[in-house]
């Protein structure tokens, strides 16, 4: 029996929910820090508060910039350098290490967005530490993006697998599922395909398409 | 000929884009202010920078809290008091005045979310100044939400009309269209209906449903 479809409003609501969840941490960090700074009786904590506010503000702008590129709908191409900058920004707050091995100079809207989302998903599979390697190749209009996560505790959650396969959420964290489902929807709607393979300590993601 | 459907990934991308757009302003405000505060040579601007950072942080948390409730997918009921607080928070940064005339104590997930979105849409029609009045009624499981915007320059944009009618974007600002389309999708998916009426200086929005 086929899975029931995911409605437009469910996907939109879950993606919005994921975004709000990701942003609320740094936004609250800034707000708390500013309250401390406005309180003269907390003068002893003001240096810490300023540092917290500055770090949270940077994290926030970085997360918004990444999300706008990864989730947005612009039809514009991506410069590989811009993708690298966005990806490096993402990893500044994460434990795994990034290895950027992309020789392709430009990406289309679909391949560039697939890369950003797969990198973030891959980073999540080795959240405790590891290495995320990104490579890509392109010929005429055909393109392939390969993202590999290696780490002693690499783990692909069932809800992420379901999302990558384009199947509805059936448990687990909706915020994890939705990004995987979203990248599947993006790539397949453009006529491409998405794959993954999980082995002991290493998880590989591929997206491929043309145009 | 029927309009082409709006795909799940298009709706999700446009809603995410709208969210990122709304949040980027206050997030950048905080980041700019923190850079100023870290610069000893800008000491003369530090008081202004602190005020900007504090205001922007409050706006940001308010916008995130509102968006999480208005766009999210929780199935929980809304307490009318919580809806009023969210709505008042929205109006602190806006020119039009809010008149809250809601006597219903609790709202379902659909009616509560419809109220929040219609209020924000209504506020946008009288952005230059005016009054937004909100009322609601409920009996057994049936509910009606009525939001009225009055102002000398009240204007309902074509892309908002199209969204409220559940039709795809065909011009205008995608960020305006998407919220209208989203509330239409939410309400109609729950078996309810959405209506609007624009006259000289006054625009009325209604959502109705049961359950």
According to DSSP, residue A167 is labeled P
Residues A31, B185: C-beta atoms closer than 8 Å: no
Chain A residues inside the 8 Å CB shell of B10: 8, 73
pTM of the shown model: 0.93
Residues A68, B23: C-beta atoms closer than 8 Å: no
- Give the closest-approach CA distance of A153 to chain B in angstroms: 31
Q: What values do phi and psi take at A78, rounded to 5?
A: -115, 135
CB interface of B with A, residues 59-118, below 8 Å: 60-61, 64, 67-68, 71-73
Chain A residue at shortest CA distance from B61: A27
End-to-end CA distance of chain B: 33
Query: What's A64-122 look like in SS3?
Result: HHHHHHHHCCCCCCEEHHHHHHHHHHHHCCCCCEEEEEECCCEECHHHHHHHHHHHHHH
CB A172 within 8 A of CB A159: yes
Q: In angstroms, rounded to a whole number, what is the distance separating the alpha carbons of residues B172 and B156? A: 12
Chain A residue at shortest CA distance from B184: A9
The pLDDT tens digits for B45-78 are 989 998 898 889 989 999 999 999 999 877 789 9
Q: In angstroms, rounded to a whole number, what is the distance separating the alpha carbons of residues A56 and A50? A: 10
Chain A residues inside the 8 Å CB shell of B23: 23, 64
User: Of A121, A124, A120, A82, nearest to A102 (Cα)?
Assistant: A82
Give me the residues of chain A with pLDDT under 70, please.
1-4
Give the pLDDT of residue A119: 98
DSSP H or E run through B22? helix B8-37
Give the pLDDT of residue A1: 46
∠ Cα B53 B58 B60 (to 5°):
90
Give the pLDDT of residue A75: 75
- Give the closest-approach CA distance of B70 to chain A in angstroms: 9
Q: In angstroms, rounded to a whole number, what is the distance separating the alpha carbons of residues B87 and B150? A: 17
Give the pLDDT of residue A4: 66
Give me the residues of chain B with pLDDT under 70, please.
1-4
Give the pLDDT of residue B174: 94
Nearest to B67 among A8, A20, A174 (CB): A20
Chain B residues inside the 8 Å CB shell of A186: 9
Best of B28, B43, B57 to mutate (most A CBs within 10 Å, chain A): B57
CB interface of B with A, residues 114-173, below 8 Å: none
Give the pLDDT of residue A96: 97
User: Of B174, B157, B101, B104, nearest to B133 (Cα)?
Assistant: B101
Give the pLDDT of residue B4: 66
Give the pLDDT of residue A140: 85
């Amino acid at each position: 029996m086929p899975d029931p479809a995911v409605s437009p409003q469910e996907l939109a609501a879950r993606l919005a929910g994921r975004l709000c969840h990701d942003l609320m941490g740094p936004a609250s960090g800034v707000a708390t820090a500013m309250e401390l700074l406005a309180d003269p009786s907390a003068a002893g904590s003001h240096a810490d508060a300023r540092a917290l506010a500055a770090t949270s503000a940077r994290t926030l702008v970085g997360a918004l910039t990444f999300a706008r590129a990864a989730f947005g709908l612009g039809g514009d191409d991506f410069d590989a350098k811009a993708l690298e900058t966005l990806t490096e920004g993402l990893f500044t707050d994460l434990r795994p290490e990034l290895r950027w091995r992309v020789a392709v100079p430009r990406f289309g809207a679909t391949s560039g967005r697939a890369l950003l989302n797969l990198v973030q998903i891959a980073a999540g599979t080795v959240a405790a530490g590891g290495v995320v390697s990104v490579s890509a190749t392109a010929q005429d209009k055909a393109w392939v993006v390969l993202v590999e996560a290696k780490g002693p505790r690499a783990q692909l959650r069932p809800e992420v697998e379901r999302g990558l396969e384009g199947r509805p959420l059936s448990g687990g964290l909706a915020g994890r599922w939705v990004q995987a489902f979203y990248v599947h929807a993006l790539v397949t709607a453009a006529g491409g395909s998405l794959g993954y393979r999980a082995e002991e300590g290493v998880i590989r993601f591929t997206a491929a398409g043309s145009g």
